A and B are shown apart, each in its own frame.
Chain A
Amino acid sequence: MSTNSEVADIKPPAINVGVLGWVRSHLFNGALNSIATIVVLLVAMKFIPQFVQWAFIDSVWFTSGQECHEAAGACWSVVTQNIRFNVFGYYPYEHQWRPLVAMIILVLMLIYSRDWKKWNRRLGYLWLVALFVMGLLMKGGLFGLISVETTKWSGLPLTLLLSFFGILASYPLGVALALGRQSTMPVIKAFSVVYIELIRGVPLITMLFMSSVMFPLFLPEGVTIDKVLRAQVAIIIFTAAYVAEVVRGGLQAMDQGQYEAAESLGLNYFQKMRLIILPQALKIVIPPTVGVLISAFKDTSLVVIIALYDILNTTKSILNVPEWTGFSTEAYIFVASIYFVFCFSMSQYSRYVESELEYKAEEK
């Protein structure tokens, strides 16, 4: 018998290990923490049972609006009975599988592309094909799919479309503007500064309003530009200005030595930026960038003021039917959870990217 095993036989006090140990070290490690824990528990005990009672026990799920008024709890019927209008809006009823498939493709492609080690030319082509298929599904007009004009695009597909292309296009534009603002060339610098300050100086609602109300009046006779496209461009222009300022923060945080080192290696401007500066600068600003992009996602709901029916607006529309007017809480909880899923995924992804980048830096 070795001395080692004798030592191993002595167990630590029960209070320090297992559930108890965890509770003690995480929830009650000090007077302040203990008080906080107790307060939070009390509050939770007060509200959670009530919420569960309301949302699950007393709730009704598949009834008419009239029966809902009888129920004591939540009326989830407002969601279930209107789900197709809520999600797809005015898209022709019998063709709603098309936006559904398009959304599934988009989500699958995003999940597939999350690991940038897979980013290569082939994936690029795959995206082009996927975008084409999605566009075809939404717009139709080919291969026996009936054409659906963009005014009928609404609900979740519209929200995703506006945010996806908004984020996709505004990020590179924002980076270019940030570089432009740092530039020594006066015209480019002036343009970038004016652009950024002008756009940041007005609210998104103004941009959307301009694009929807003012802009068409300046077009020549007979020319109309698609309403969705106009809103999309407004969102891109707006988000790019914010991305630009965030990226500028990253560029300024870079040590001057990095710039000098790159120049001393004989790299030209584009090489210097592409190989040395931007990879580091963009990495620094991942958290604020994602912040901007998440708010861009949520800001798409402002298209309500130009009568585009994103998912928030289709919900409001449902609530305007007398049968369902009283159940805004339930309907908004549903929409909030959809927004949450997407925003939370985005923030999780950014944390994943950050940790991946850290890991790589340590490996080398």
Chain B
Amino acid sequence: MHQFKSLFIGCTLLLSSAGLVFAGNGDTLKAVQAKGYIQAGVNGDLFGFGKADQKGVWKGLDVDTARAVAVAVFGNFKDRVRYTPLTAKTRFTALQSKEIDLLTRNATQTLGRDTSLGLDFVQVNYYDGQGFMVPKSLGVKSAKELGGATVCVLPGTTTEQNAADFFRSNNMDWKTVTIESTAELSQAFFAGRCDVMTSDASQLAGIRASSPKPDTYMILPDIISKEPLAPAVRHGDNQWKDIVNYAVLTMINAEEFGITSKNVDEMAKSKDPKIQRFLGVTAGNGKALGLDEKFAYNIIKQVGNYGEVFERNVGVNTPLGIERGLNALWTNGGLMYSPPFK
């Protein structure tokens, strides 16, 4: 997820100082409308976030986010989004070089990236964090008890650094087993070559699900890093940033109001002025963003609210089986919170 981050940031810093062209206000929306589709940068290999199924149909939380933006702009997403699979190394350059209009590729928002890479992050669409997975037979209940453990970790990632920091700050010894690919790394873990596996919590859930006996492994409650994954746009085009931002927030706000893809037509008849404004029954929001007044209605109708998108892609009934946790609404103890749509 964040291999070679420092190397990459170094390269990109060099380039951006060499004179990057920033997007002008409104350019992206005009360009997107002219060509008739949004080019979205996605992961391509991350199940639950961005990955095509066997028929080449794209699925995932990030993919649905890109679709929500397409719906906001065009009123539907069919043939309106084209996906560019990107690696961790190529993702930001693709955005800078205008190869893509929107980056929804589980990128962690950080100050360094926000300021120096010529891009802006918008509303977080998934709060992740690094965790640990152990076999239940190890009898460990907290990451603080992992002193002396052998840890499986992807090499050259911030995951490795975070783990190193964690073990050092807690005065614990550790040994690493590093293997380049997640698939082989998890094989090593299941084969017992290491006691602990560390990665982002969302990934650990998927890895656990892929094991022959998922019930024999557990993810420890400790989260040792903050990984707010957010879509990103080019710096300087504030209108486009607003559109992407409010496309994501629309899904969150819909969940706050209890509006789903199923009941949105009913809710559109609501007498509540807040809901009327939100769904475009009372005009205003659409014009302010330069979009159709029905954009929120369309997003909810076609993509769903955040809860639906979450459950469909990564929720407890998917192979990933992730609980809402930090990604629950603020009213349920999570961090998902939308400003008022007015």
Task: Give the distance in Å from the alpha carbon of A81 to the alpha carbon of B54 in the complex.
Answer: 9
Contact check, A323 vs B210: say whether CB atoms are below 8 A apart. yes
Tell yes or no: A69 within 8 A of B by CB.
yes
> For chain B residues 196-246, which have a beta carbon within 8 Å of chain A?
206-207, 209-212
Q: Decide: B56 and A89 in contact? CB cutoff 8 A.
A: yes
Q: How far is the CA of A219 from the CA of B93 in the complex (A)?
A: 13
Q: List 8 interface pairs A-B (beta carbons < 8 Å), by A numbering.
A: A85-B54, A93-B56, A217-B97, A224-B97, A320-B51, A320-B183, A321-B47, A322-B47
Q: Which A residues touch B83, using CB under 8 A?
A: 151
- Select from chain B the residue with minimum beta-carbon distance to A325: B210
Interface status of B111 (Cβ within 8 A of chain A): no
Contact A307 B85 (CB under 8 A): yes
A209 close to B47 (CB less than 8 A): no
A195 vs chain B, min Cβ distance (A)? 24
Asked if A213 contacts B84 (CB within 8 A), the reply is no
Say yes or no: A320 contacts B182, CB within 8 Å: yes
Cβ contacts under 8 Å, B45 to chain A: 316-317, 320
Q: How far is the CA of A152 from the CA of B44 in the complex (A)?
A: 12
B265: Cβ under 8 A from any A Cβ: no
List the one stretch of B131-139, B184-192, B275-283, B288-296 in contact with chain A.
Answer: B184-192
The smallest beta-carbon distance between A208 and chain B, in angstroms, is 10
Which single member of B53, B87, B184, B210 contacts A322 (CB below 8 Å)?
A: B210
> A320's contact among B47, B86, B97, by CB below 8 Å, is which?
B47
In order of increasing CB-CB distance, the 8 nearest A-B pairs are A325-B210, A216-B97, A322-B210, A322-B319, A93-B55, A319-B183, A322-B209, A69-B212
Residue of A nearest to B97 (CB): A216
Write the nearest CB–CB distance from A262 to chain B, whole angstroms. Answer: 50
Interface string of A76-89 (1 = CB under 8 A from B): 00000110110001
| A301-330 near B? 1/0 per residue, CB < 8 Å | 000011101000000110111111110100
Taking residues whose C-beta sits less than 8 angstroms from the other chain, chain A's interface range is: 35 or more
Please report the C-alpha to C-alpha distance between residue A234 and residue B21 in the assembled complex, in whole angstroms.
Answer: 25
Decide: B89 and A326 in contact? CB cutoff 8 A.
Answer: no
For B186, list chain A residues within 8 Å (CB). Answer: 325-326
B119–chain A nearest beta-carbon distance, Å: 14
B99 A224 Cβ-Cβ under 8 A: yes
- What residues on A are CB-neighbors of B84 within 8 Å? 151, 307
Max chain B C-beta neighbours (<10 A), residue from A92, A219, A321: A321
Partner of A213, one of B54, B90, B211: B90
Q: Chain B contacts of A82 at CB under 8 A?
A: 54
Closest Cβ neighbor of B11 among chain A residues: A213
Report yes or no: B184 in contact with A328, Cβ–Cβ below 8 A: yes
CB 8 Å contact bits of A210-254 with B (1 = contact, 0 = none): 001110110101101001000000000000000000000000000
Contacts A307-B44, A320-B46; A326 near B187 (Cβ below 8 A): yes
Q: Is B96 an interface residue, CB under 8 A from the partner?
A: yes
Alpha-carbon distance A82/B85, docked complex (angstroms): 19
- Chain B neighbourhood of A297, CB < 8 A: none
Does A149 touch B at the CB level, under 8 Å?
yes
CB contacts (< 8 Å) of B46 on chain A: these are 320
Known: A326-B190, A328-B187. A216 touches B93 (CB 8 A): yes
B:59-99 near A, CB below 8 Å: 82-87, 89-90, 93-94, 96-99
Smallest beta-carbon distance A347→chain B, Å: 29
Could you say which residues of chain B place their CB within 8 Å of the CB of A305? 87, 89
Query: Which residue of chain A is the closest to B321 with respect to CB atoms?
Result: A322
Residue B51 contacts which of A89, A91, A149, A317 (CB distance < 8 angstroms)?
A317
Q: Is the CB of A84 within 8 A of B82?
A: no
- The complex places the Cα of A161 from the Cα of B137 at a distance, in Å, of 50
Q: Determine if B207 and A151 form an interchain contact, defined as CB atoms under 8 angstroms apart.
A: no
For A84, what are the chain B residues with a Cβ–Cβ distance below 8 Å?
Answer: 54-55
CB-CB under 8 A from A322, the residues of chain B are 47, 206-207, 209-210, 319-320
- In Å, the complex CA distance between A151 and B44 comes to 12
